Amino acid sequence: MENELLPEERLQPAEKNETGSDGLNKNKDAGTGEKSFFQRLSENKELMVTFHRVFLWLISLLAVISIFVYFIYIIPLLQEIPSPRKGILTNSAELKKEASYKKLISQLNRDVQRFSRKYNGYTTGQSYLVINTTDNIFHLYRNKKQIREGHCSTGSFKMLKTEEGRSWIFKTPKGKFWIQGKITNPPWRRPDWAYVEEGLPIPSQDDASRYEYGVLGDYAMALGDGYLIHGTIYKRFLGMPVTHGCVRLNDEDLKAIFNTLSIGSKVYIF
Amino acid sequence: METENINNMKGKKNGLIIPGIFVFVFFVYYTVMIMLSPLKMVEEFREQFSYKQSEKNKVDERIFSDSSYLKLYKEKAWLQSKIAMAETDSIYLTINLPDSTVNLEISGVIVHSANIKRQIISKILKNGDEYIISSLLARPFTISNNYSSIPKMPLMIKMAPKDTSEYKPDIIPDTADYEPVNYVMEMENGIVILVYQEEKLNPGDRLHLFGFDLKYRLRNILNAMKSILTFKVPEYHPFIKLRLPRTDSKIIYRALPEHGQIAVYR
């Protein structure tokens, strides 16, 4: 308690000095003030214990972070240190003269040419269509050159479920397909999901009410399993994933594709 | 009292020193085992893919250090791998590291191309024996596991309305999704291909990438720990890290099948 009172007592003469004593005395007093502050800190045991604890906590925290960084980031870097010896290329001139070497190289050359021809042969000059379902874009190719591109609409990735346990996933299939049929002024035969989706009762399979005209545009091309490339009356949705699995196009693109592709033409969907 | 305190302090210090030594020894042991793992992988590759001499087809060993031979062999391996995938009807990916391009292909037809903005490759794959690595790359890799920040199939479940009164027409989908696209594809042969989006679209993306990367690294540490604690050298996974534009990353991830195939040319 005495110690705690000391600084206050020391401050009093310093205040008095402001009125009468010189600057030298002022500095002296200020020095005594600082000294007493640190003294006060070091003599305050509770404060020192708190400082000590905080310091230990900080050290521990730093250690934990270091361990974390070591395991997460340093170790994977260390793994890259023991690099395998890079093979030295000798390119022996003697070897190059040997008949067995020449034979092996010519065999390899033939293999590379053969594989190269085979691989290049996969892309034919015939017309084909590429559909990107992520960005809803199509590309039409003829003679290995792109002749048209534009927006389309593909599957919405919606899963329609009924309380009875029936379900449909509206996605456009991916992979290699070919045009299996071409139709002009196609009617739309509404499948069961079209009724379920709107909460309507499902009619019999051959019911006349299932057929709708004019909703699929002027043309349709069948890809198999009921999937079609067709037109749409919802042109504002082109470029968006909104369909039940078919590929929708605008009227001009549909006509161009219909006229370019023939039955058997490839359609690549990814 | 003072001597008791001093003894207590000494006891506490001893109590800290012994676990400290254990922790240090474990650190050293862990580090050594981890550093051994790539060497083990190199040995495994050597055993699997080095040329096996036989009485019938004896080859001069010097050929494996001949640049003309290795160049052709590498080319052949790349084509072989691509043809093997083209024979299937599936969608696959080809990664040409020297050209910095990735192609999505179906039956040998390139359906989508993208430029690699940045690439980091494991030293094993980069500096490894040319013949061994080319032999490894001669067969397409098959994806065994995918870890991604986006779903493979963005499925939305909708319950059918009971009658027309419950029916609500579909809302126009929100195409302005800015979800960062980062994914890791683990191959059956132990190689890992990491694809991260190039662009930082918003400040949260950097944090998102950090979180995604951290989760994957923690998973690897856990697996390594399991091996190390049973005194086994952990598995090393040679990696190919690619930075691609976001749209391309998304297209590739969504297009590749769950267990799709990938060919790499380096």
For position A217, which CATH number holds? 2.40.440.10
pLDDT at residue A17, as a whole number: 44
Measured distance CA(A179)–CA(A263) in Å, rounded: 5
Nearest residue on chain B to A161, alpha-carbon basis: B159
* Domain limit, last residue, from A41, A57, A79: A79
Q: Give pLDDT, residue A10.
A: 46
- pLDDT bucket at B207, cuts 50 / 70 / 90: confident
**Looking at the domain assignment, is residue B32 inside a domain?**
yes
Q: Is residue A160 assigned to a domain?
A: yes
- Whether ipTM > 0.85 holds is yes
Q: Among A18-22, A26-30, A256-260, which range has the highest average pLDDT?
A: A256-260
Three-class HEC string of chain A: CHHHHHHHHHHHHHHHHHHHCCHHHHHHHHHHHHHHHHHHHHHCHHHHHHHHHHHHHHHHHHHHHHHHHHHHHHHHHHHCCCCCCCCCCCCCHHHHHCHHHHHHHHHHHHHHHHHHHHHHHCCCCCCEEEEECCCCEEEEEECCEEEEEEECECECCEEEECCCCCEEEECCCCEEEECCEEEECCEEECCHHHHHHCCCCCCCCCCHHHEEECCCCCEEEEEECCEEEECCCCHHHCCCCCECCCEECCHHHHHHHHHHCCCCCEEEEC
Q: Which CATH number is B13's domain given?
A: 2.40.440.10
Q: Looking at CA atoms only, how far is residue B203 from chain A in angstroms?
A: 23
Asked if residue B34 is part of any domain, the answer here is yes
A11 part of contact set with chain B, CB < 8 Å: no
The pTM of the full predicted model, rounded to 2 decimals, is 0.84
**How many angstroms separate the CA atoms of A179 and A260, rounded?**
11
Q: How many CB atoms lie within 10 A of CB A190?
A: 18
**Residue A205 included in any domain:** yes
Domain range spanning residue A30? 2-79
- Per-residue pLDDT reduced to its tens digit, B27-55: 999 999 999 999 999 999 999 998 888 77
Percentage of residues in chain B having pLDDT higher than 90: 68
| Total number of domains in chain B | 1
Contact A199 B38 (CB under 8 A): no
Domain-located, residue B35: yes
Asked if A132 and A251 sit in the same domain, the reply is: yes
Residue at A259 is within a domain: yes
pLDDT higher than threshold 60 for residue A16: no
Encoded tokens for B9: 């302090």
| For chain B, percent of residues with pLDDT exceeding 70 | 91
Is the pLDDT at A1 greater than 50, yes or no? no
Q: Which domain holds residue B210?
A: 2-50+64-153+179-265
Rg over CA atoms, chain A = 41
CA atoms within 13 A on the CB side of B218: 7
CB-based contact, A38 to chain B, within 8 Å:
no
Between A and B, how many residue pairs show a Cβ–Cβ distance under 8 A? 202
> Between A79, A132, A199, which is nearest B38 by CB?
A79
Residue B212: inside a domain: yes
Binning pLDDT at 50, 70 and 90, where does residue B3 land? Answer: low
User: Considering A61, A79, A97, which residue would you say is the last residue of a domain?
Assistant: A79
What pLDDT shows up at residue B12? 66
Residue A212 to residue A188: CA distance in whole angstroms: 5
Q: CB of A91 within 8 Å of any CB in chain B?
A: yes
Number of structural domains in chain A: 2
Q: B72 and A105: CB-CB below 8 Å? A: yes
- The answer, yes or no, to whether residue B99 has pLDDT greater than 60, is yes
Q: Is residue A97 part of a domain?
A: no
A172 in any annotated domain: yes
Residue B168 lies in a domain: no
Instruction: Report the C-alpha gap between A152 and A220 in whole angstroms.
Output: 14
Same domain, A238 and A156: yes
Single residue among A59, A79, A99 that ends a domain in this structure: A79
pLDDT score recorded for residue A32 = 52
d(CA A155, CA A247): 8
Q: What confidence score (pLDDT) does residue A24 get?
A: 44
By CA distance, what is B85's nearest residue in A? A119
Residue A109 covered by a domain: no
- Please give the residue of chain A at the shortest CA–CA distance from B91: A175
